[in-house]
Amino acid sequence: MSIPKIYRKHYRFSGQVQGVGFRYRAYYNAQRLGIGGWVRNCADGSVEMEAEGTAEALCDLLDALENGHFIQIDRCTAQDMAPTGEHQFRIQ
């Protein structure tokens, strides 16, 4: 049995993403999916997140965020990063 490849990505979300439960939704779903990393609000009204997990788990996390009530993502940028082995997800 092969070990699944782990990815780490840095995301920046803009739109209606602050004050709508975005960080808590990210935290809950990251925990459920076994994703490590963090999420935080930015001064410009965007939300920044680093997430580490399998490609499938990262896709599932993004799907959960895009389908959240009151959340409206107008723009999402993603940048690949080197995995760090982080297993816990936290709100900063």
Residue 69 belongs to domain with CATH number: 3.30.70.100
Task: Please give the Cα distance from 19 to 34 (Å, whole number).
Answer: 25
Task: Please give the Cα distance from 3 to 1 (Å, whole number).
Answer: 7
Residue 67 is among the residues annotated as catalytic for this protein: no
Q: What is the pLDDT of residue 68?
A: 81
Residue 48 in domain: yes
Residue whose pair of structure tokens reads 């997430």 in the numeric block = 51
Amino acid present at 28: Y
Residue 51 in domain: yes
- Segment 13-26 shows an average pLDDT of 96
Flag whether the pTM goes above 0.75.
yes
Residue 41 is among the residues annotated as catalytic for this protein: yes
- Flag whether pLDDT at 9 surpasses 90: yes
Residue of 8, 23, 25, 29 marked active site: 23
Nearest Cα neighbor of 35 from 69, 6, 63 is 6
Residue 77 in domain: yes
**Structural domain span for residue 52:** 7-91
Instruction: Specify burial of residue 71 (Cβ count, 10 A radius: 0-12, 13-18, 19+).
Output: buried
Count how many domains the chain has.
1
Residue 1 in domain: no
